[in-house]
A and B are shown apart, each in its own frame.
Chain A
Amino acid sequence: MIPLQDITVAKENSSPIYRPPPRFDLLRLPLLGRWLRWRWGRLLFQIPLLLLALLMIYDGFTGPKIAGQNVATVTAWVHYRGLVVLALLLVGNLFCMSCPFTLPRTIAHRLSGNGRRWPQALRNKWVAIAVLVLFFFLYEWLDLWASPWLTAWVIVGYFLAAFVLEAIFAESPFCKYICPLGAFNFVSSTISPFQITARDTETCRTCPGKECVNGSPQALGCGTELFVPQIRSNLDCIFCLDCARACPYDNVALAARPPGKELTQGAWPRRWDQAFLVLVFAFAGVSNAFGMVPPFYALEQWLSTHLHITNEGILLLIIFGMINVLLPVSVGLVAAWFSRRLSQKRETLRVALSRYTPAVMPLAFAIWLAHYGFHFATGALAIIPVMQNFLLDHGLNWLGTTPTWSLAALLPGSWLLPLQLLIVLVGFGGSLMVAGEISRRDFADRRMATLSLLPWVLVLLGLAVAAVAMFNLPMEMRGTLQLNG
C-alpha cells in the first residue's frame, strides 16, 4: 500500500481538484475501449513487440552484418523511432504502453515481493537525463545505427536492466527514473492529444481504497505511482491503463485534450531536473541531426587538428558534451536570468527557468519529428526486402523468392525537405503560442509579460534557425571519422 503523501503529484499540484468530465474518451469507444480496459488488454499490445524484440535480438546476433539488411537495425533505427514520434503526436505514449521490456519485469516484481523503495535522492529526472545524454553519446560513438550486433545488445541490456531493477525495488524505477526511451517518451507525450484523467473527480474524492494507485486483487495499481484525479500532465504516465483496470468505479478516462494544453497550465513541477530534461531534449534533437551533416565532420576535424586529439570518443565527448549539456544548461540559465531581470519579478532562478521551459516542447518535439520522420519516410518500406531476405535465409519463400531491394522510400524525396521545414515552422509557432500564453498567465502587466518572454523567444528562434539550417544541408550517413594521419 502506497501512502498518498508519497505521491509526488499530490504534493506539487495546488490546483482545484474539480474538472468537467472528458468529452471524448478512448476507453468508451465500443470495441477499442473494452479491449483497452480488459485485464489482458495491455498484454495483447506487448506480445507482438516482445516477439519483435526477440526476432531483433536473434537476427542482430546471427543475421547479416550490414545494417540495411538486418531486422534489428532496420526496425530499431528506422521504424521504432519513426513510429514512436508519430504515435506520440497523434495519440500518446503508445510505446511505453506496449513496452516488451516490462514483461519479464513483471515476473521479477512477483519474485521480489515488496522489495525496497527507490532512494529518495534519486526520485527525480537527473539519472534519466544522464542516461539519455549517455545514450546519445554511445549512439554516435559506437555507430549503433550501423551495427546489428550492438543493436541486439542494446535490446538485451534493456531487458536485463528492467528485470534487475524490478527485482530489487518495489516500484518501477526503471520506467520512471532511468529508461532513456521512457524519458524521451514522457517528455514528448506532453504535447500528445490524450491524457489519463478521472471521469468524475467527486468519485475519487470519496473513494476509500484509491485502487488506481494502490492496486486491487484484480489489477496492479499505477506502476509510476500517479494518482488519477491529480494527473494534469502525461509526464511519468506510461499509458499502461492499470489505473483503469483497477478502478472499482470505472471512473478512469483516456481523454482527448487540445495538444499542448498541459504546457500552458502550469501542470509541471517547477524543478531544476524537469526544466533541464526539456532543454537537454531540445538541444539533443539538434545535435542528433547535426551528427549527420558535413559541418559536424568539419568541426570534428578542426577540433582534432587544434587539440591534437585523434581519439574519436574524446572528440565526440567534447562536441556532444557541449551541445547536449553545456549549451542547454547555460542557455537556459542565461535566458531565465534575463527573463527575471527584464520582468523585475522577485523569484528564484529555478522558478524563472521552469516558467518557460514548457514552451520549448513544441519546437523540440518538431525537431525530433522532422529528423526521425525523415528516416522513416526514406526507409519504411525497407522492412519488406529485409523480411523477405530473413525468411529466404531460413528456407522460407512466404514473401517471394527474391527480396525486392528497390523498396525503401515511403514518400518521394522531393517532399522531404518542405515537410521537414513545415514541421519545424509549426513547432516554432506552437512554442511561441505556448510562451505567449504562459506570459499572459503569469504577468498582469502586458509590458512585463513581453519583456519576460523576450529572452525565450531568442532561444526558440536560435533553435529553429539551427534546425532549419541543418535540414537544408545534405545528410551524410557516416559513422567514421577521417582524422589526419
Chain B
Amino acid sequence: MKHVLLASLIVLSFLLGSCRRSTQQNREAPHVNMSLAVEPEAPTVGPATLLITLTDADGNPINGAALEIRGDMSHAGMEPVLASAEAGQTGIYEAPFEWTMAGDWIVTVTASLPDGSIATREFDLTVSGEMHMEP
C-alpha cells in the first residue's frame, strides 16, 4: 500500500511539474527600461511616493501604461502593499505608497504597455525604522 502511494505521489509531482504557469504566458515587452525612485529618498516607515520611469530602447518616454505595484517584505507571511499608477507624463508615473514595516522590501512593478505587452521589474530596497520629521 505504501509503495503504491509513494509511486502515485512521485508521478503526481512530475505531472505537476509539467504544468505551465499562466504568468509565464504573458507577452513580455522587450527593450523597456524601468527605474524606480522613492520619496523620501531614504525610505522610512510611513507614507511615501514611488516614481517609476518608463522608457523604450531609444530612451523615449512611454506614456499611457497602466502600472500595478506590489511591495513585499523579504519575510514570508507579511501583508503586501498594493498600489497602481496610470497615465504618466514624460514617462514618469507617480504612486502613493506606504512602508508598513522596517526591513527588506521587494517592489514589483508590472506595466501594461499601450501595445498590449507587459514589462515587469523587481527593485530591492531597505526601509529603516526611523521616522522622518517634517520641519
Measured CB to CB, the residues of A under 8 A from B are 40, 43, 47, 50-51, 54, 57-58, 62-63, 66-70, 73-74, 76-78, 103-104, 106-107, 143, 145-146, 294, 375, 378-380, 382, 392-395, 405-409, 474-480, 482
Contact = CB atoms under 8 A, between A and B. Distances in A.
Given A382-B79, A476-B129, A482-B126, A67 B74 contact: yes
Nearest to A79: B77
Contacts of B3: 107
Given A43-B2, A58-B13, A406-B79, A476 B74 contact: no
8 contacts: A54-B9, A68-B76, A70-B76, A106-B2, A107-B2, A382-B78, A405-B79, A479-B104
A74 B74 CA distance: 11
A216 B23 CA distance: 53
Nearest to B21: A393
Contacts of B74: 67, 143, 145-146, 477-479
Interface string B54-79: 00000000000000001011111111
Contacts of A67: 72, 74-76
B103 interface: yes
Contacts of B79: 379, 382, 405-409
The 9 nearest A-B residue pairs measured at CB = A379-B77, A477-B103, A78-B77, A408-B79, A477-B75, A73-B76, A146-B74, A67-B76, A476-B102
Chain B residues touching A, range: 20 to 34
Interface of B: 1-3, 5-6, 9, 12-13, 16-17, 19, 21-23, 70, 72-80, 82, 101-104, 106, 108, 122, 126, 129
A480 B104 contact: yes
B80 A394 contact: no
Contacts of B103: 475-478
A68 B75 contact: yes
A477 B17 contact: no
**SS class, residues of chain A in contact with chain B:** helix
Contact of B76 (A54, A379, A405): A379
Contact of A68 (B12, B23, B72, B102): B72
Contacts of A51: 9
A40 B5 CA distance: 13
A146 B16 contact: no
B23 A103 contact: no
B122 to A, nearest CB: 8
A218 to B, nearest CB: 15
Given A393-B22, A477-B104, A478-B126, A68 B73 contact: yes
Nearest to B103: A477
Contacts of A103: 2, 6
Contacts of B101: 474-477
A74 B80 contact: no
B62 to A, nearest CB: 25
Given A67-B74, A380-B77, A474-B102, 14 more contacts: A54-B12, A57-B13, A63-B21, A68-B80, A145-B75, A294-B102, A382-B77, A393-B21, A408-B79, A475-B102, A477-B73, A477-B75, A477-B103, A480-B126
Contacts of A43: 2
A475 B73 CA distance: 12
Max chain B C-beta neighbours (<10 A), residue from A68, A143, A474: A68
Contacts of A379: 76-79
Nearest to A50: B9
A375 B77 contact: yes
Contacts of A77: 75-77
Contact of B77 (A62, A408, A479): A408
Nearest to A106: B2
Contacts of A106: 2
Contact of A146 (B13, B19, B104): B104
A214 B12 CA distance: 36
A52 to B, nearest CB: 11
A105 to B, nearest CB: 11
A432 B74 CA distance: 38
A24 B108 CA distance: 54
A473 to B, nearest CB: 9
B134 to A, nearest CB: 20
